[in-house]
Amino acid sequence: MTPVMRVLVAGGSEFVSLALVRALVRDGHTVAVLNRGRRTDRLPPSVSVIPCDRKDHAQLKSVLARARFEAVYDVSYAPTTGEDVAALADAVAAGRPHVIFVSTGRVYDHALPIPYSETTPRGYYWGEYARHKIAGEDALLARHQTRGLPVTIARPTHVLGPLNTRHNEAFFFDRIIRGRPVLVPGHGGWLRQFGHVDDLADALASMPGNPRAFGQAYNVTGEECVTQVGFVEQIAEVLERPAEFRHFDPALLKRFDQPGLVFGQNLVYDCHAVYTTSKVRTELGIRPRYTLASGLRQTWEWYRKEGLDQRPVDFTFEDQLLALLPR
């Protein structure tokens, strides 16, 4: 069991970082968050807030000058550059904490064959996002190699669950519960892999102070992969409603100056995304509690409890696109 620690979370008020804060508090740690102080109402009462714009490196150094932590989580993305990651690591270095960086599976070169393991070459297939995350990883690993700073890299993939900042599973809840068709660009057969936010938070909360994790990177996600349309079918099964698919040629989107979302916020891309999780299981004993179905079911319960099934949804763009499709 992880010993009780003083922990800093850069972020703390949104989705993954909020779930992490709640997991750390549950486990008895003394937790502080470093952010701009905009959503403090979400935090557990015991959590202290250090107001700071992490991209202001002088301010960051000043507010953390006397702070000492045993573990530091770098979760926020603003976008966050390698220099920003390095600045946080250097600001807390005096206490020699275990720094855990939440990176992404998108650091891998997705032009390569699946599945992607921690030994898969990284690359800039995903553009600036991948570039920033790789730079952050490299900044920390360099400090581990040259200064002995304990660091660990976590690479999640698509994360689902309550308060998701990505409009993915709720996107399909919105349509299926209202009897709307689901528009599918192309064949819908690209493989996707999802993990539940609480499983990710639990995994992260179990890492600090574990010397086996020092200097290592781990894929952290669920065990199942599913096609794009298979994901929607799983959702329909949870909702106990039928799913109607309308496939279309993605080239149709070019007719619109500002096309809207058609299949979740970030699930439309022309490659598979499948990741191994054997390393985190065998080395750290970490495995998810949620299956894809149980994670979707729990998220659906939250969605209804929050009354999101009653919210107004603008389907104007989808109706315009549907009008172009043959019946």
Residue 232, domain CATH:
3.90.25.10
Q: Clarify whether residues 129 and 266 are in a common domain.
A: no
Note the pLDDT of residue 1.
59
29 belongs to a structural domain:
yes
pLDDT band at 39 (very low <50, low <70, confident <90, very high): confident
Rounded Cα distance, 44 and 32, in Å: 11
Q: Clarify whether residues 30 and 105 are in a common domain.
A: yes
Q: Is the pLDDT of residue 171 over 80?
A: yes
Q: Clarify whether residues 104 and 184 are in a common domain.
A: no
Q: What is the mean pLDDT of the chain?
A: 96
Rounded Cα distance, 267 and 243, in Å: 17
87 belongs to a structural domain:
yes
Rounded Cα distance, 111 and 202, in Å: 31
Note the pLDDT of residue 327.
77
Note the pLDDT of residue 41.
86
1 belongs to a structural domain:
no
Residue 131: C-alpha distances to residues 53, 127, 153, 161 (Å): 21, 6, 15, 27
In a 3-state reduction of DSSP, which class is residue 86?
helix
Residue 140: C-alpha distances to residues 112, 281, 289 (Å): 25, 23, 29
pLDDT in tens, 103-161: 999 999 999 999 999 999 999 999 999 999 999 999 999 999 999 999 999 999 999 99
Q: Clarify whether residues 187 and 148 are in a common domain.
A: no
8 A C-beta contact, residue 245 and residue 181: yes
Rounded Cα distance, 180 and 7, in Å: 45
What H or E segment, with its residue span, contains residue 193? strand 191-196
pTM: 0.96
pLDDT band at 3 (very low <50, low <70, confident <90, very high): confident
Mean pLDDT, residues 249-258 = 93
Q: Is the pLDDT of residue 57 over 90?
A: yes
pLDDT in tens, 14-34: 999 999 999 999 999 999 999
Q: Which of 163, 165, 195 is nearest to 294 (CA)?
A: 195
Quick one: tokens of 143? Answer: 């400090």
In a 3-state reduction of DSSP, which class is residue 109?
coil
Handedness of CA 98, 104, 110, 115 (dihedral sign): positive
CATH code for the domain in which residue 36 is found:
3.40.50.720
199 belongs to a structural domain:
yes
285 belongs to a structural domain:
no
Residue found under tokens 């959503």:
39
pLDDT band at 78 (very low <50, low <70, confident <90, very high): confident
pLDDT in tens, 201-243: 999 999 999 999 999 999 999 999 999 999 999 999 999 999 9
189 belongs to a structural domain:
yes
User: Does residue 113 have a cis peptide bond before it, meaning omega lies within 30 degrees of 0?
Assistant: no
250 belongs to a structural domain:
yes
Q: Clarify whether residues 262 and 306 are in a common domain.
A: yes
284 belongs to a structural domain:
no
Backbone angles phi, psi at 111, to 5 degrees: -80, -10
8 A C-beta contact, residue 102 and residue 73: yes
Q: Clarify whether residues 31 and 83 are in a common domain.
A: yes
Would you say how long the chain is, in residues?
327
Q: Clarify whether residues 125 and 238 are in a common domain.
A: no
For residue 296, the one-letter residue type is L
pLDDT in tens, 280-296: 999 999 999 999 999 99
Q: Clarify whether residues 122 and 182 are in a common domain.
A: no
Q: How many domains does the chain have?
A: 2
Cα angle: 275, vertex 277, 278; to 5 degrees: 130
Q: Clarify whether residues 120 and 252 are in a common domain.
A: no
Mean pLDDT, residues 37-44 = 84
Q: Clarify whether residues 120 and 189 are in a common domain.
A: no
Task: State the first-to-last Cα distance of the chain, in angstroms, to the nearest integer.
Answer: 59
Q: Clarify whether residues 116 and 155 are in a common domain.
A: yes
pLDDT band at 310 (very low <50, low <70, confident <90, very high): very high
Q: Clarify whether residues 240 and 198 are in a common domain.
A: no
CB atoms within 10 A of CB 254: 9
Residues of the domain holding 49 = 6-159+194-219
